[in-house]
Structure 1
Amino acid sequence: MRPPVVDSHAHVFPEISRAEGRALGVADEPWLRRDADGAGMMMTGGAEYRPVTAGLWDPAERLAAMEATGVDVQVVSSTPLMFGYDAPADRAADWCALVNERILAHCAAAPERLVPLCQVPLQDVDLACETVTAAVAAGHHGVHIGNHVGTDYLDDGAMVEFLTHCAQVGAPVLVHPWDMLGADRMAGHMLPWLVGMAAETQLTMLRLALSGAFDRLPESLRLCFAHGGGSFPYLLGRADNAWHRRDLVRADSAKPPSGYLDRFTVDSAVFDPRALRLLVEVMGADRVLLGSDYPFPLGEETPGDVVRAGIASPGDRDLILGGNAVGFFDLKGNR
């Protein structure tokens, strides 16, 4: 029996009013504006951020899209605009509790098909650990985080402490790039999304490897990087070459970057069969999860099309389309 088709990278922005958004205590609070034509707008304070469709907040629309595209299960995570990392930590903790409650309610429309991930106030490690513990107990299957908070990346001591806690409570971690570096040099054409996201993800992964953070983290940690690992898989040879040739590069890590490929997974959101084949060659078919970035326009319109076009082995296709996600997110009770 083949495993279900599981989309591990799909976003939600629950219906949150501006008044509720103001609880964050920031000037550009995130909230959702519903428009008369059935569409919506993600808002930051009084400014329009991005137009969105109903699948982002309406579970019926989400489920209809899943039926139309052959997706059995979606792992649902918040839109990164909602992270709240710039807010005071206590306000961010209350905000995350609200968001997590709304995500649970959204997924309750079809609990066998919609799998919730929580978000946490990552700017405060103690509150973040408390939040993920409570969220897992409430029914979340893991946690969705940004790849950095300000200048602190996941190799920072507090971040390593949080990731260690996630391993201890059995919470898988989906890492999403956000607040992209160099945005002031990439005006127009969505270049921060096209270039910055890939760079942010590679930067995070290399920092974890070269800083020795992977050597300190528990091997039981389930860690997945969105967007195919960004630039990392395609520039891995460059990083390994530098590690072997320069003591400055290898000063803090026991192994070259390629020595840590068994410590994380990536999603399949690379949009080109040739790129996916290289990704699978680098990572192994058992470390790639189907991911579409639903329901945003830069996502894969029919989740799994690139996997079916790019991966010849039926066994490898089954792993990527759903088999890997069943184990990663503890989905054995989902169809």
Structure 2
Amino acid sequence: MSTSTPFIATEESYLSPLIPFGPSSTPSDAALHLIPPATLSKLRTLGPLRVRDMRTSSITLQIISHIPIENATPQTCQKINDAMYSQIVMSPDRFQALAMLPCGRGVGKEAGRELARCVSKYRFVGGVMGVKRGGSEGSVDGEAGSLDDKEWEELWAVAERYKVPIALRTVFPSREKIPEFAGAYPESLIGPLLTNFHAHHTTSPLLILRLYLSGVFDRHPNLHLILSQSGHSIPSLLPRILALDSSLLPPKPVRSFLDVWQHNFYVTTADVLDLQSMRLLLEQIPLDRVLFATGYPWEERGRELMKDLRESSIVSKEEWERIAFGNAEWLFGVKIGSGVGKDGKGVARW
């Protein structure tokens, strides 16, 4: 695969230097001290180190999203977004950003306002929300506040009005959640478990089903949500979900779940690790809803998977290019090579 092959990587992580990562006695603080030092160094930079890694992996453009953390207040999110913009503004052809949005009970309106601020002022291409189990499955950070609550209507309306997606990503576990996640093992073992599998430990299709049953997609038919780990559990369960949907009695959403799944959701390839998993995903969701992602810097094997996919008979050349960059161009309003993105500047190939 030529190094000139363009890729837009859509689920690439960042951790602001504003967030403390050393030892802490506060139970609700994120357990960032368990992240390996080499990974932490990559997470905290948007400079030459990351650009070098992008060149090595033939990544043309990264869509940056901050790791969702607990207790991210509206004020904290605003500071993080301001700082993130100050770092990417000089390289809009290499980086675009999703606004980090506050989550928890009572901050729905603030989340909507922050998304509107970042899109209109900084030309961010969407937002990212943190989700976790909490008090109920699929709750957002806080006291069992859930994304199907009415307080989030303003956020969905803003996303629809500005035509930008919202990514749902798992909140990084707090220190008090470590025993629940990995038991009483030494940190040398908990660290790898935490950084590789915490998202799978906390995600469930129940969040998506609750959003659907609440009628969000009837009220906001053009709302687009991006799923990573939580999306990959749906394809294998899709027949069961569709059977349940057809058996529901009114009141129920006007649109079918299949219609919503095929038109309102995007799924990234961040956790698609082999061709078999890719084939299953492509059989259960339209190809134009699949976004290439490497999950940088947690995992950086996306290029190899795409090489295998291109050499297989699963997709055509044109379909492969849509996964590699075309779908992201449309969703985020950016353009590789010629043309302009939301920031008014072109996105160049290497």
Per-residue deviation, 1:10: 0.2
What's 1:110 paired with?
Answer: 91
% identical aligned pairs: 23
Where in structure 2 are the equivalents of 1:291-306 lying within 5 Å?
291-296=293-298, 299=299, 301-306=300-305
Q: Aligned AA for 1:114?
A: F
Where in structure 2 are the equivalents of 1:36-115 lying within 5 Å?
43=32, 48-51=33-36, 52-58=39-45, 59-81=47-69, 84=70, 86=71, 92-115=73-96
Are the counterparts in 1 of residues 200 and 230 from structure 2 also a CA contact under 8 Å?
no
CA 1:246–1:215 in structure 2 vs 1: closer, same or farther (change >3 Å)?
A: closer
Per-residue deviation, 1:101: 1.5
CA 1:259–1:220 in structure 2 vs 1: closer, same or farther (change >3 Å)?
A: closer
Select which of 156, 171, 174 maps to 1:178.
171
Are the counterparts in 2 of residues 307 and 320 from structure 1 also a CA contact under 8 Å?
no
Per-residue deviation, 1:220: 2.5
How far apart in 1 are the matches of 2:117 and 2:125? 12
Where in structure 2 are the equivalents of 1:1-335 lying within 5 Å?
4-16=6-18, 18=20, 28-29=28-29, 43=32, 48-51=33-36, 52-58=39-45, 59-81=47-69, 84=70, 86=71, 92-123=73-104, 124-136=107-119, 137-147=121-131, 148-150=140-142, 151-178=144-171, 184=180, 187=183, 190=193, 194=197, 197=200, 200-217=203-220, 219-227=221-229, 229-245=231-247, 247=249, 251-261=251-261, 262-269=263-270, 270-296=272-298, 299=299, 301-310=300-309, 311-332=314-335, 333=340, 334-335=347-348
How far apart in 1 are the matches of 2:196 and 2:217? 27
Count of aligned positions: 303
Q: Give TM-score, length-normalised by structure 1.
A: 0.79
Are the counterparts in 1 of residues 217 and 223 from structure 2 also a CA contact under 8 Å?
no
- Computed over aligned residues only, the root mean square deviation of the Cα atoms, in angstroms, reads 3.2
Q: Aligned AA for 2:306?
A: V
Per-residue deviation, 1:9: 0.3
How far apart in 1 are the matches of 2:199 and 2:230? 14
Are the counterparts in 2 of residues 145 and 173 from structure 1 also a CA contact under 8 Å?
yes
How far apart in 1 are the matches of 2:43 and 2:109? 30
Are the counterparts in 1 of residues 9 and 294 from structure 2 also a CA contact under 8 Å?
yes
Q: Aligned AA for 2:239?
A: G
2:100 counterpart SS class = coil
Higher relative contact order (CA 8 A, sep 6+): 2
Are the counterparts in 1 of residues 99 and 128 from structure 2 also a CA contact under 8 Å?
yes
Per-residue deviation, 1:193: 5.9
How far apart in 1 are the matches of 2:167 and 2:42? 21
1:115 counterpart SS class = strand
Q: Aligned AA for 1:258?
A: L
Are the counterparts in 2 of residues 325 and 331 from structure 1 also a CA contact under 8 Å?
yes
CA 1:182–1:94 in structure 2 vs 1: closer, same or farther (change >3 Å)?
A: closer
Q: Aligned AA for 1:173?
A: I
Q: 1:274-307 CA distances to partner (integer Å, 9 max, x unpaired)?
A: 11111112111100000111101xx2x2324323
Are the counterparts in 2 of residues 11 and 77 from structure 1 also a CA contact under 8 Å?
yes
Q: 1:300-319 CA distances to partner (integer Å, 9 max, x unpaired)?
A: x2324323323431111100
Q: Which moved more, 1:153-162 or 1:324-333?
A: 153-162
How far apart in 2 are the matches of 1:156 and 1:183? 30
Are the counterparts in 1 of residues 290 and 327 from structure 2 also a CA contact under 8 Å?
yes
Q: Aligned AA for 1:102?
A: A
Are the counterparts in 2 of residues 18 and 29 from structure 1 also a CA contact under 8 Å?
no
Per-residue deviation, 1:183: 7.9
Per-residue deviation, 1:252: 2.3
2:323 counterpart SS class = helix
Are the counterparts in 1 of residues 273 and 305 from structure 2 also a CA contact under 8 Å?
yes
Per-residue deviation, 1:209: 2.0
How far apart in 1 are the matches of 2:44 and 2:244? 45
Are the counterparts in 2 of residues 198 and 230 from structure 1 also a CA contact under 8 Å?
no
Q: Aligned AA for 2:122?
A: A
Q: 1:22-58 CA distances to partner (integer Å, 9 max, x unpaired)?
A: 9xxx76556xxxxxxxxxxx74xxxx23223422122
How far apart in 2 are the matches of 1:138 and 1:208? 29
1:160 counterpart SS class = helix
**Structure 2 residue ranges without an equivalent (≥5):** 132-139, 184-189, 341-346
**Structure 1 residue ranges without an equivalent (≥5):** 31-41
1:8 counterpart SS class = strand
Q: 1:176-214 CA distances to partner (integer Å, 9 max, x unpaired)?
A: 123689983764673796476376252222222233222
